[in-house]
């Protein structure tokens, strides 16, 4: 059974849900770095950094056995051609008219699609998305600690 955005509550955290809504906005497809590749100017080895979140720190030290054993820090250069990127697209969905109770304002939710799911929808499309609800803290300079829902599709 498909849920509406209003039905996303803390009880759904960790659960697999199907979310139904109407697409009201679809951003351009953008690349997101998945694996960053660096070359050490000292020893010439390639170093790989898996990027799991939106805020990644560039690699600072060469991880090759040669540089590690000699306790040397060669300068690392980011190599775009050897790095791996994935396509992402942010969309915004809103509750459909049939999901609303009389007099209620429709809620909306931003969702980031990736890999083969990009370029599949456009504004006006009614979609059902399946994913797991996870809770994470809102990032930024706010004094409040808001809990936001993230759905892994």
* Segment 43-65, tens digit of pLDDT: 999 999 999 877 778 888 899 98
Architecture of the domain made up of 31-86: Single Sheet (2.20)
Residue ranges of domains in the chain: 5-29+88-152, 31-86
> Across residues 35-44, what is the average pLDDT?
94
Q: Tokens 């009614």 — which residue?
A: 126
Asked if residue 148 has pLDDT above 80, the reply is: no
In this predicted structure, what is the pLDDT of residue 138?
Answer: 59
49 touches 61 (CB < 8 A): no
**Domain 5-29+88-152: assigned CATH number:** 2.40.50.140
The residue length of the chain stands at 153
Phi, psi at residue 71, to the nearest 5°? 50, 40
């Amino acid at each position: 059974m498909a849920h509406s955005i209003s039905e996303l509550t803390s009880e759904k955290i960790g659960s697999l849900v199907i979310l139904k809504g109407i697409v009201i906005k679809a951003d351009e497809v953008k690349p997101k770095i998945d694996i960053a590749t660096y070359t050490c100017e000292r020893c010439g080895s390639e170093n790989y950094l898996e990027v799991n979140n939106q805020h990644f720190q560039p690699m600072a030290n060469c991880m090759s056995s040669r540089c590690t054993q000699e306790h040397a820090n060669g300068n690392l250069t980011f190599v775009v051609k050897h790095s791996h990127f994935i396509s992402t697209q942010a969309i915004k969905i809103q509750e459909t008219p049939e999901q609303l109770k009389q007099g209620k304002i429709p809620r909306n939710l931003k969702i980031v699609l990736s890999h083969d799911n990009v370029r599949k929808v456009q504004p006006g499309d009614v979609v059902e998305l399946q994913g797991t609800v996870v809770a994470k803290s809102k990032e930024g300079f706010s004094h409040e600690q808001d809990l936001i829902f993230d759905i892994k599709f």
